[in-house]
Amino acid sequence: MEGLAWLAAAIAIAFLVLIVWSVARKGASELNLDLLTKGPAVTFLSTAKVGLANAFAGTIVIVGLAIAMALPVGILVAVYLNEFAPASIRNGVSLALDVLNGVPAIVIGIFVYGLFVLGHGQSGLAGSFALACLMLPLVARSTMEVLALVPNSLREAGLGLGIPQWRTTLSIVLPQTIGGIVTGTVLAVARVAGETAPLLFTSSIVGTQTSWNPRHALQSIPVAIFELSESPDPADHARAWAAALVLILFILFASLGGRWLATRSRTRMLSR
Amino acid sequence: MPKLGHPIRTLAVLAAVAAAFAAVAVGAGAAPARHAGDTISGAGSTFVSPLVSTWIPAVGSAFGYSLQYSAIGSSGGINAITGRTVDFGASDAPLTPDQFTACNGCEQIPWALGATSIMYNLPGVKNLLHMDGPTLAQIFLGKITTWNDPAIAKLNPGVSLPSTNITIAHRSDGSGTTFNLTDYLSSVSPAWASQIGKGTSVNWPVGVGGRGSSGVSAIVGQTTGAIGYADVAFALKNHFSYFAMKNNSGKFTTPGSRGILAAASSDQKPASDNSLSIVNPPAKYPNAYPISTFTYVIVPLQTSKAADLKRFLFWAVTKGQAGTYTAALRFVPLPKSVLVVAEKAIAQIHS
Amino acid sequence: MTSLDLTDAARRPFTGRRVRFGDVSLQVVAGTAAAAATVLVGLIVWKVVDGARPAISHEGVQFVWRIAWNPVLGREVFGAASFLFGTALTSLFALALAAPLAMGIALFLSELAPRGVRAPVTALVETLAAVPSVVIGLWGIFVLGPALQRYVEPALHSVLGFIPLFGPPGSAGPSIFTAIIVLTMMILPIVSSISRELFLGVPHELKEGALALGSTRWEMVRGVVFPYARGGIAAALILGLGRAVGEAIAVTQVIGGGVFIHWNLFDTGDTLASKIAESFQGAASDLEVSALFYLAVILLVFSLLANLTAQWIVWRVARAHGISRGGHA
């Protein structure tokens, strides 16, 4: 029976190696500076050197704005639930966050389309909002976890010194959690940086020019990979692999960094 | 010993971070001041996208604003312009009365003329293969499943056809090219007309779906024995073979300028909604390629970008039809009678 | 998992104090954020149901078991059955494949592997977790699909062809089978990392006790580790199922499309999420858009059910373990 476990592990590892190896090999061969500096082909029969500059710029803007939207709200929600809310409200809002976490990304996409795009046009902002909806439960939950780890002795100490609750929360409790908040955000970014479905209907009607303006629809790396994967041109496929490699490296870096930060801040907090 | 952060300092840091994000958002939003003439954006038909893509650099240098076009399929284009998420839509399928109503004050204007090629991937066979409507309908219905089927062999005497399975590559998204093909199949095959009908999206009995003409081309390129359909520019770009289709006069014609022009002469007068139908022309057009089609731009009659839009569209239907843009992609310049109607329609756009 | 087993009184020593303006402001601002998050969820559910309303009144509840999707003018009829079938087939098979593989890896990493191998293999699993769905789909189109169609499908058909599941192989890469393997790859990291943490969390005393009583390593795993982690594993599996059900992009890249119920895994097919991704932008009529929202409602029901069930199991298991351990460490 133990042999079966070894066999299962071997098969699984073989598949993992296969995928990682495919992406690494195919991606590395096409990885060059053109990918980041040149835009996609403009005309149909063009043979110019091309890249995905518009997608890289767009992803930076969209993910950046998603963080700006999700981070403050996520922290505030966690603060409210952990510091102020009675148990019933805490359970209710936690449930709502769990429900939000369970909504498939494609449904978030059509929701944001109906809310912001219809009648107004696609935009990077709409795409960011969709990504922020996906990030919110993750940021809120990880902030709540770190807030719960802050010992009550700190809060009581503040009370004992006559410091108002709001000051205690903001200047004593929250600073302890910065590490955990950063971790949670980094992990949430790792989760949404590769999401295609929320952007498919909110920020996909784009041109070939590189734009940093979030009021326009912006190309993004996952959507670019999606479109290139369905092209008949092998050169497009090669670009898709290269972009995929960059994306995976970024996400890997972010999630490993996030995990490392998490372990570091947790040990620091628990050792007090 | 836990650090007791100075409250003002913490608040100041948080406020600074929030302000920085807000500044980025507002600044990025405001920095290139968005004039009305900066970008004209359109979306829709993948059929016409090769031609529109050649217009983009020309329009940029002629008028100084940038043209942006996204090929998401004709139905996507109709929905996009209906929802006013773009400045113009493009569709090879004419709008239905319901779609006109939903679009709320739009008009459609024929702006290009081309043909749908039936492309295939059969590496062993170098000859130009012949095909006719009823047989093609049987293939798309899934009744003919191998290349060496007697029906196909009969059309191609002397050609040795392999026993490879036929894989149909069709569009999974709403497509004007699908409309063109199903329009043709409905007119040549009563079985197709009753079982499937015509539309931008139909209930395909068999086959693999691809997104956009690119997606269909990808499936054809990757699958031996596949048959797909797309604007002939896609077949040319990917070096696919395509069928010579039998028209009503018995001739086998290919999707080139002669065949398309001959088909276009079968309907010279746009209807009241500016649509034309040149599919499966009658026998008195012996050189016609039977799966040709006009394609339309769909614009709102009233728009804040009227001036720029009109300038672009006038250019598109006149200078944009020149050989530099159309010849390599096998589009054919608009016939005079259609051009007159198009220009009249463009003139009606106002702000 | 939050340590919410501190009582309210201990956590909130501020009850009964004098209220200050700063306190109220913070509470209001933070409370607004919490309210906004809750409203957002309600808004999503409401908007999706509202979008489906025309289709619900036009098609009724028969939509759920009707096999149809015909947007042709004059022949419009829509139904979810073929997509429900596709979702069920792909997700359940993916789970069936991923579960033993994930358990195997988790056991390997927690019990069986020599020390030196654990770190690189864990890193490998983490890397796969970092691969976004569009990239797995990319791999599925260009590497997996052709390989399956060329070698695996004919082999399976010749050996197991008497089972309707393994009918004649498809002629192109896209198929339900490819989608199943793709989904397996996506579920695998989640289920295996949760399982690994569960196995690592089994108290040493229990494991050592079993070994001291003379059981083999496998008997210890089967008799102590599995039963202890059973609830958590169930939650992990259901979580993985929810993930598979909701996946749109990777599936739509490799599944090929089609409105029918074919039991042959090597045929093309479609799922709820994939159909929405394909057809939403280019829906031919308002009715078709509404029918797609109807699909989204069904999808929402299933993925929420899976997610909430997993959460509930976790909560129950946490409670049970909290009590048995006699207070928190």
Question: C274: which 2 tokens?
Answer: 């994939």
* End-to-end CA, chain B: 69
Predicted confidence band at B18 (pLDDT cuts at 50, 70, 90)?
A: low
Segment B237-292, tens digit of pLDDT: 999 999 999 999 999 999 999 999 999 999 988 999 999 999 999 999 999 999 99
Q: Would residue C164 count as lying in a domain?
A: yes
- C174 contacts on B by Cβ (under 8 Å): 208, 219
If one compares B25 and C135, the residue with the highest pLDDT of the two is: C135
Owner of token pair 């609830």: C231
CB contact under 8 A, A196 and C31: no
Task: Indicate which CATH number applies to the domain containing A239.
Answer: 1.10.3720.10
Q: Residue A250 and residue B107: Cα distance in Å, rounded?
A: 46
Contact C153, C177 (CB under 8 A): yes
* End-to-end CA, chain C: 14
CB contact under 8 A, C137 and A76: no
Q: Residue C194 and residue B100: Cα distance in Å, rounded?
A: 53
User: How many beta-carbon pairs below 8 A join chains A and B?
Assistant: 124
Closest CB to B85 among A43, A122, A231: A122
> What is the predicted ipTM?
0.90
pLDDT above 90 for B117? yes
Spell out a b/e string for C36-69, using b for 16 or more CB atoms within 10 Å of the CB, else e.
Answer: ebbebbeebbebbeebbebbbeebeeebeebebb
Q: What is the pTM for the complete model shown? A: 0.90
Name, in order, each residue with C-beta under 8 angstroms of B190's C-beta and a sequence gap of 6 or more.
none
The per-residue pLDDT for C138 is 95
In terms of CA atoms, which chain A residue is nearest residue C134? Answer: A226
Segment B192-205, tens digit of pLDDT: 999 999 999 999 99
Q: Would residue C50 count as lying in a domain?
A: no
Helix (H) or strand (E) holding C28: helix C21-59
Q: Does B329 touch chain A (CB under 8 A)?
A: yes
- C146 contacts on A by Cβ (under 8 Å): none
User: Could you tell me whether strands B208-210 and B167-171 are parallel, antiparallel, or unpaired per DSSP bridges?
Assistant: parallel
In terms of CA atoms, which chain A residue is nearest residue C107? Answer: A5
Count structural domains, chain A: 1
Owner of token pair 């947790």: A266
Q: Would residue C31 count as lying in a domain?
A: no
Predicted confidence band at C117 (pLDDT cuts at 50, 70, 90)?
A: confident
Closest CB to C130 among A7, A72, A252: A252
Contact C125, A16 (CB under 8 A): yes
pLDDT above 80 for C5? no
- A73 contacts on C by Cβ (under 8 Å): 33, 36-37
Q: Residue C257 and residue C271: Cα distance in Å, rounded?
A: 8
pLDDT above 80 for B236? yes
User: DSSP class of residue A150?
Assistant: S
Question: C275: which 2 tokens?
Answer: 């159909």
Helix (H) or strand (E) holding B66: strand B66-71
CB contact under 8 A, C72 and B172: no
Helix (H) or strand (E) holding B67: strand B66-71
- H-state helical runs in chain B: 7-30, 49-63, 74-82, 97-103, 133-141, 150-155, 176-188, 190-195, 212-222, 232-237, 257-264, 306-317, 323-326, 336-347
Mean local confidence (pLDDT), B315-333: 94
pLDDT above 90 for C74? no
- Chain B residues near any Cβ of chain C (below 8 Å): 72-76, 79, 96, 98-99, 102, 165-167, 172-175, 196-204, 207-209, 211, 219, 222-223, 225-226
Q: Would residue C43 count as lying in a domain?
A: no
Report the mean per-residue pLDDT for chain B. Answer: 89
E strands present in B260-324 = 292-300
Count structural domains, chain C: 1
What percentage of chain C exceeds 70 in pLDDT?
A: 91
Q: What does the angle CA B138 – CA B142 – CA B145 come to, to the nearest 5 degrees?
A: 95
The per-residue pLDDT for B7 is 53
> What is the domain range of residue A217?
2-271
**Contacts with C, A 185-244, CB within 8 Å:** 190, 193-197, 200-201, 204, 222, 225-226, 229-230, 237, 240-241, 244
CB contact under 8 A, C22 and A167: yes
CB contact under 8 A, B172 and C174: no
Q: Does A178 touch chain B (CB under 8 A)?
A: no
The per-residue pLDDT for A272 is 57
Question: A145: which 2 tokens?
Answer: 């976890």
Contact B248, B281 (CB under 8 A): yes
pLDDT above 60 for B335? yes
Predicted confidence band at B331 (pLDDT cuts at 50, 70, 90)?
A: very high
The total number of residues shown for chain B amounts to 351
The per-residue pLDDT for C141 is 94
Segment B158-196, tens digit of pLDDT: 999 999 999 999 999 999 999 999 999 999 999 999 999
Question: In this structure, what are the phi and psi dihedrals at residue C153, rounded to the nearest 5 degrees?
Answer: -60, -45
pLDDT above 50 for B59? yes
- H-state helical runs in C168-225: 176-200, 204-212, 217-220
Q: Which partners does chain C have (≥3 C-beta pairs < 8 Å)?
A: A, B
- How many other C-beta atoms lie within 10 A of the C-beta of residue A97? 26
Q: Would residue C289 count as lying in a domain?
A: yes
Task: Indicate which CATH number applies to the domain containing C175.
Answer: 1.10.3720.10
> What is the domain range of residue C78?
69-321
Tell me the mean pLDDT per 10 residues along chain A, length 272: 80 85 87 86 86 93 95 93 90 92 94 90 94 95 89 87 85 84 86 93 90 92 95 92 91 81 72 62
Segment C279-289, tens digit of pLDDT: 999 898 889 99
Question: B242: which 2 tokens?
Answer: 């395509």
Distance from CA of B278 to the nearest CA of C (A): 20
Contact A237, A229 (CB under 8 A): yes
Helix (H) or strand (E) holding A6: helix A2-30
- Chain C residues near any Cβ of chain B (below 8 Å): 68-75, 146, 171-174, 256-259, 268, 278-279, 281-286, 288
Q: Residue B116 and residue B92: Cα distance in Å, rounded?
A: 11
pLDDT above 90 for B149? yes
The per-residue pLDDT for C285 is 87
CB contact under 8 A, B220 and A232: yes
- B103 contacts on A by Cβ (under 8 Å): none
